[in-house]
């Protein structure tokens, strides 16, 4: 069974960089059938897609966050990572990593999710 | 990018049928998928594509599509179905390929 686990600091100071890693077990991030994404959810609010990476290294970012986001992968560790720079209190959220399926041209969805990591931005 | 609009709250009597909708121009071209999220938990995929359920999802969950609206129907709603439900789809913009709806809180009376 595929499992994803987020790890990283849970408290980040304003203006600094949020860094999270997603460790994938039970499957390989180099499998060409899948993409790997980050989604966040501010407390009491809805889901927001942050970005996605494919094993080739191709990345896709939410335009509203693109200037501050980098998603990368480490195939040797079967991990992918998120860096969000210049954070403010509005970046406080639960951050989820998830496996994404892009089925042809008409269907994109996330079938496995990590448990989520609450990251608080505060001094 | 396109937006996906959901009613913030919906209620249903125990055992009855409820429809949760998701509207957006992108749904004229692309399929929606649906997620259930209970408090303190990660979202769980309940429907993807035209009307496909992942393994382990009860068959009381189904989906349909018409024009710019995707619908999630729960037939014979159970108490454990009380949760937030989110739709998502791809977008026609290559720069913002993934969008989520704002979510619907389902209350089972």
Residues 6+ apart with CB under 8 A from B71: B19, B20, B21, B22, B63, B64, B65
- Angle at the Cα of B64 from the Cα atoms of B60 and B69, rounded to 5 degrees: 130
Residues 6+ apart with CB under 8 A from A94: A40, A41, A43, A116, A117, A118, A119
Q: What is the mean pLDDT of chain B?
A: 94
Chain segment A44-84, per-residue pLDDT in tens:
999 999 999 999 999 999 999 999 999 999 999 999 999 99
Residue A34's pLDDT is what? Answer: 96
Q: Is the pLDDT of residue B2 over 70?
A: no
Which residue reads 């496996």 in tokens?
A99
Q: In this predicted model, what pLDDT tens digit does every residue of B82-94 receive, in sequence order?
A: 999 999 999 877 7
Task: Give residues with Cβ within 8 angstroms of B47, minimum separation 6.
Answer: B33, B34, B53, B57, B61, B62, B63, B72
Q: Chain B residue closest to A97 (CA)?
A: B42
SS3 A82: strand
- Half-sphere exposure of residue B13, counting CA atoms within 13 Å on the CB side? 1
Q: Residue length, chain A?
A: 123
Percentage above 70 pLDDT, chain B: 96
Q: What is the pLDDT of residue B18?
A: 98
Chain B, residues 11-40, CB within 8 A of chain A, namely 29-31, 33, 35
Asked if pLDDT for residue B1 goes beyond 70, the answer is no
Q: State whether residue A89 sits within 8 Å of chain B by CB.
A: no
């Amino acid at each position: 069974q595929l499992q994803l686990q987020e790890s990283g600091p849970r408290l980040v100071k304003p203006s600094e960089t949020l860094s999270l890693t997603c460790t994938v077990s039970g499957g390989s991030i180099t499998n060409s059938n899948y993409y790997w994404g980050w989604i966040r959810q501010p407390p009491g609010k809805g889901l927001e897609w942050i970005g996605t990476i494919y094993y080739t290294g191709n990345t896709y970012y939410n335009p509203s966050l693109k200037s501050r986001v980098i998603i990368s992968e480490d195939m040797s560790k079967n991990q992918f990572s998120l860096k969000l720079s210049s954070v403010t209190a509005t970046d406080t959220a639960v951050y989820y990593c998830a496996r994404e399926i892009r089925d042809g041209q008409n269907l994109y969805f996330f079938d496995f999710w990590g448990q989520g990591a609450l990251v608080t931005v505060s001094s | 990018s396109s937006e996906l609009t959901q009613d913030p709250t919906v209620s249903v009597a125990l055992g009855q049928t409820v429809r949760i909708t998701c509207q957006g121009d992108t749904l004229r071209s692309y399929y929606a998928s649906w997620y259930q999220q209970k408090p303190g938990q990660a979202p769980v995929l309940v429907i993807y594509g035209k009307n496909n359920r992942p393994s382990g999802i009860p068959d009381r969950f189904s989906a349909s599509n018409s024009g710019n609206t995707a619908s999630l129907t729960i037939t014979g709603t159970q108490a454990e179905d009380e949760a937030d439900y989110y739709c998502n789809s791809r977008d026609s913009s290559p720069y913002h390929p993934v969008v989520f709806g704002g979510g619907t809180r389902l209350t089972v009376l």
